[in-house]
Structure 1
Amino acid sequence: MVERMIIDCDPGHDDALAIILAAGNPNIDLMAITTVAGNQTIEKVTRNALSVCAIAGITDVPVAQGAGVPLVRPQIVAPDIHGESGLDGPVLPEPQIELDPRRAVDLIIDLVMENEPGTINLVPTGPLTNVALAMKVEPRIVERVKRVILMGGSYTRGNSTPSAEFNILADPEAAQAVFAGAWPVTMVGLDQTHQATADADIVARIAAIDSPLSEFVVEILTFFGTTYKDVQGFDAPPVHDLCCVAKLVNPAVFATRDAFVGVELTGRWTTGMTVTDFDNLLDQEHNTQVATTLDKQLLWDMTINAISVLSKGSAA
């Protein structure tokens, strides 16, 4: 079964890999790429999305620029992990396509409303500002979206603060709106994505494809690996966003547990925390499938295959 998806992203090294998997796998119909400020400013991440499309040969997917600031809070970015461009490491190719004239929110709404209900998946891999705004502008999308599979949060720990993951902390009000929406939500958080490391053997397999795209991916992972080692002490970088797309390619890639998830908005030390209740301790109805264990071999097999497929397409 082919899954239609919109990826809402802030490229970002791991966002780049997510786009590549979505474009290079026959089980995915990539309907649009929308951008949101997160890993870097909106101008930088939008340029990065267009550069990824250029190197991967993605020419028939609309790309729209989205929100440049969170709903209510000051903006934060992550140059310590992603560099000043948001995609440091490789030389970024010049864009080959023009931006869609619509705002990201409008493109998301148009695609969800134009297609049959229950056929469009939203895959946000950055802060959830665009998705929350789309819900506000056109509430009917909530009943029409098939599933939201988001990268963000955690049920045990944070990475920007002891309790908050970056994407949620960047716009917690938007995140709370998305979790509270009456649509199926899957939270792909740090507990699971930290299992998705690009180890040396994985990088070697990608390098062996020997194409401009595979070289680009190796450079991405090399830079990402260095910053994750320096900043967070990882021996290999966890490629978080990839996991969200992989779930649509093959649901067996990770297991989930049902839980109630709410976002802390007012805690002195815990703002942005995804409070996750598996055991009904809060007496709240479960609203989220929470990713737990990952089939790492399957994740990387499908990703490496997508890089190979797109490499052949660009060479043709």
Structure 2
Amino acid sequence: MEKVILDCDPGHDDAIAIMLAAGNPAIDLLGITTVAGNQTIEKVTRNALSVCAAAGIHVPVARGASAPLVASQVVAEDIHGATGLDGPALPEPAFALDPRHAVDFIIDTVMAHESNTVNLVPVGPLTNIALAMRKEPRIIERVKSVVLMGGAHTRGNMTPHAEFNIYVDPEAAEAAFRADWNVTMVGLDLTHQALASAELQARVRAIGGPVSEFVGAVWDFVGAAYREVYEFEAPPVHDACCVAALIDPTIFTTAMADVRVELRGEWTRGTTVVNFRDVPGMHHSSGSAERQTDFRTAVALQLDQQRFADQVVDAVERLTANLAK
């Protein structure tokens, strides 16, 4: 089993990521930490607890950073609504928050487990991760991997080139990419392949029960938002892709690259500048003596969409069965 701390900002696709992590037997979900992103920290933390209540999930939930390291706060109300998780009925939390700040929860958990066994899965802005690295640098050598949802090498969704999670806190993202640990960047180029298609939605709805209904309501709302804002026929399930890769590392292909986050450009702040090492047709520069190129980030490229859909359906089925016990 892969030990996972899921750092998130629920968020519709975050909700599916939580369910996939809790519902798949290959994942040992050690805890959920929250960060301001899709909505304020108060709202996304409440949403994390509500998702756990809706799906019968019982793991520690710790509230984290309420604002980016440097920038002013940005939320995604146009996609996720006033609550951050509009659409489904949000049940009352079934348990209390962990008393620790998310940063301390991350540090304590990584340090308490054997080295090279805990995976960090940040699927919102990387503020908590950067703060944890700063407060306890020893976690960097102990973490097994960081599988993050953010960035892109061809497009953005906040600006022409910047993806939301990186744009919200680019300084934190740059710190995470520069740290000496194993990073996989699961960006828009990959997650836009992970669509909640009509077929997938029909399979989930056919399961029946409260978990299926909750997921259906999630996709109804965010699907309408994506049609209106981005003209997508079906909404991407961005964040669950990171969990899917830990369940099955072959579910998407990757290529090694040097990833830098643009921090100063007037029109490009928050852009992930991706320099691929061995991908035909993609930019490659060896760098200079002043700035050595560092090809050590795995960038996700191509998703097996059918296997991803199967994972989501399986998780909903398992959570549904557990609730019925």
TM-score band w.r.t. shorter chain: over 0.9
Which residue of 2 is the match for residue 299 of structure 1? Answer: 308
Deviations 1:3-49, CA, capped at 9 Å, x for gaps = 00000000000000000000000000000100000000000000000
Structure 1 residues 225 and 148: CA distance shift in structure 2, 3 A: same
In structure 2, C-alpha distance between the alignment counterparts of 1:94 and 1:174, rounded to whole Å: 32
Shift of 1:287: 2.4
Counterpart residue number, 1:195:
193
> Structure 2: which amino acid aligns with 1:293?
Q
Secondary structure of the structure 2 residue equivalent to 1:268: coil
The offset of 1:285, in angstroms, is 1.6
- Structure 2 residue matching 1:251: 3-state secondary structure: coil
Which residue of structure 2 aligns with residue 269 of structure 1? 267
User: Stretches of 4+ moved more than 3 A in 1?
Assistant: none
- Aligned AA for 2:311? M
| Structure 1, gaps ≥5 residues long | none
Tell me how far apart the structure 2 counterparts of residues 282 and 49 of structure 1 sit (CA, whole Å): 43
Distance 1:123 1:287 in 2: 18
Aligned mates of 1:282, 1:180 — CA distance in 2: 17
In the TM superposition, what whole-angstrom CA distance separates every residue of 1:174-222 from its partner, at most 9, and x where no partner exists? 0000000000000000000000011111101000000100000000011
- Deviation for aligned residue 1:282: 4.8
Contact 1:254/1:291, CA 8 A, preserved across alignment:
yes
Secondary structure of the 1:293 match is strand
> Does the CA-based 8 Å contact 1:39-1:45 persist in structure 2?
yes
Counterpart-to-counterpart distance in 2, 1:215 and 1:242? 18
Partner of 1:310: 319
CA–CA distance in 2 between the matches of 1:138 and 1:287?
22
Find the aligned partners of 1:90 and 1:248 in 2 and give their Cα distance.
27
- 1:144-183 superposed matches below 5 A: 144-183=142-181
Q: Secondary structure at the match of 1:201?
A: helix
> What amino acid sits opposite 2:56 in the alignment?
G
Report the TM-score when normalising by structure 1: 0.99
Indicate the residue corresponding to 2:33 in structure 1: 34
1:33-72 alignment, distance < 5 Å: 33-59=32-58, 61-72=59-70
CA distance in 2, matches of 1:241, 1:95: 22
Structure 2 letter corresponding to 1:28: I
- 2:281 corresponds in structure 1 to none
Corresponding pairs, count? 314
| Structure 2 equivalent of residue 286 of structure 1 | 295
> In the TM superposition, what whole-angstrom CA distance separates every residue of 1:112-170 from its partner, at most 9, and x where no partner exists?
00111100000000000000000000000000000000000000110000010000000
SS in 1 for 2:270: coil
Deviations 1:265-298 (A, max 9, x none): 0001100000000044152021200000000100
Q: Percent identity?
A: 62
Partner of 1:229, secondary structure, is: helix
What is the distance in 2 between the residues matched to 1:216 and 1:115? 33
Normalised to the residue count of structure 2, the TM-score between the two structures is 0.96
For residues 95 and 297 of structure 2, the distance between their equivalents in structure 1, rounded to whole angstroms, comes to 36
Q: Report the alpha carbon displacement of residue 252 of structure 1 after superposing the two structures with TM.
A: 1.3
1:241-280 correspondence to structure 2 within 5 Å: 241-279=239-277, 280=284
Task: Please tell me whether the aligned partners of residues 146 and 184 of structure 1 are also in contact (alpha carbons under 8 angstroms).
Answer: yes
Taking only aligned residues, the RMSD between alpha carbons, in angstroms, comes to: 0.6
**2 CA distance for matches of 1:98 and 1:307?**
24
Paired amino acid for 1:8: D
